[in-house]
C-alpha cells in the first residue's frame, strides 16, 4: 500500500503522493540528458538513494534507453542514448499536457467568474 506523505508549503499543510515509478524514470532521464554521469551524480540530481536508483538504471539499460559505459577500469558511467532522449521528450510532453488539462478548467471557471463580475458591476453603475 502506498501512503501519502505530508508536505508543508507556504504555511499550509497538504497531502502529496510519493513520486510514481514513471516520475522517477523521467527524473533519471532528465538528469542524464545533461550528459554521462556516475551513479552518485545521478542519485543527487534525481534525489534518490543509490540502491534503489541502481534498480531503475538497470531497467533503463535493459530496455535500451540508457547505456552503461566503463571508464578507466572500474568506473561506471551512465549515458542516455538516442532512444532514451526520444522517450524522455515524449514523457515530458505527456506530463505537460496532463498539467495543462488540469489547469484549463480553472481558467475557464475564472473567465466565467470575471464575466459575471463584469455584468454585476455594470448593473451597479446604471
Note the pLDDT of residue 60: 96
**Residue 3 maps to a domain:** no
> pTM of this prediction?
0.70
- In this predicted structure, the answer to whether residue 1 has a pLDDT above a threshold of 50 is no
**pLDDT tens digits, one per residue of 20-78:** 898 999 999 999 999 999 999 999 999 999 999 999 999 999 999 999 998 877 889 99
Note the pLDDT of residue 86: 94
Cell (9 digits) for 32: 542524464
**Residue 11 maps to a domain:** no
Confidence grade of residue 87 (pLDDT, cut at 50, 70, 90)? very high
Closest listed residue to residue 42, CA positions, set 58, 59, 29, 55: 29
Closest listed residue to residue 25, CA positions, set 97, 76, 95, 77: 95
**Residue 44 maps to a domain:** yes
**Residue 99 maps to a domain:** yes
- In this predicted structure, the answer to whether residue 5 has a pLDDT above a threshold of 70 is no
Note the pLDDT of residue 110: 72
For the chain, what is the domain count? 1
Q: What is the DSSP string of 86-126?
A: HHHHHHHHHHHHHHHHHHHHHHHHHHHHHHHHHHHHHHHH-
- Range of 79's domain? 20-125
> What mean pLDDT comes out for the span 99-111?
76
- What is the sign of the dihedral through the CA atoms of 84, 86, 91 and 93? positive
Please, which residues bridge with residue 70 across strands? Answer: 76
- In this predicted structure, the answer to whether residue 99 has a pLDDT above a threshold of 90 is no
**Residue 110 maps to a domain:** yes
**Residue 30 maps to a domain:** yes
**Residue 10 maps to a domain:** no
Cell (9 digits) for 16: 502529496
**Residue 1 maps to a domain:** no
What CATH number does the domain containing 83 carry? 1.10.10.10
- In this predicted structure, the answer to whether residue 118 has a pLDDT above a threshold of 80 is no
Note the pLDDT of residue 12: 57
Provide the mean pLDDT of the chain.
83
Amino acid at each position: 500500500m502506498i501512503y501519502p506523505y505530508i508536505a508543508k508549503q507556504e504555511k499550509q499543510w497538504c497531502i502529496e503522493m510519493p513520486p510514481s515509478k514513471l516520475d522517477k524514470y523521467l527524473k533519471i532521464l532528465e538528469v542524464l540528458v545533461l550528459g554521462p554521469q556516475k551513479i552518485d551524480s545521478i542519485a543527487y540530481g534525481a534525489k534518490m538513494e543509490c540502491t534503489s536508483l541502481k534498480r531503475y538504471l538497470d531497467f533503463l539499460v535493459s530496455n535500451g534507453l540508457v547505456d552503461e559505459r566503463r571508464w578507466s577500469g572500474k568506473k561506471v558511467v551512465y549515458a542516455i542514448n538516442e532512444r532514451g532522449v526520444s522517450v524522455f521528450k515524449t514523457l515530458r510532453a505527456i506530463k505537460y499536457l496532463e498539467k495543462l488539462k488540469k489547469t484549463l478548467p480553472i481558467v475557464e471557471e475564472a473567465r466565467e467568474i470575471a464575466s459575471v463580475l463584469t455584468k454585476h458591476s455594470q448593473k451597479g453603475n446604471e
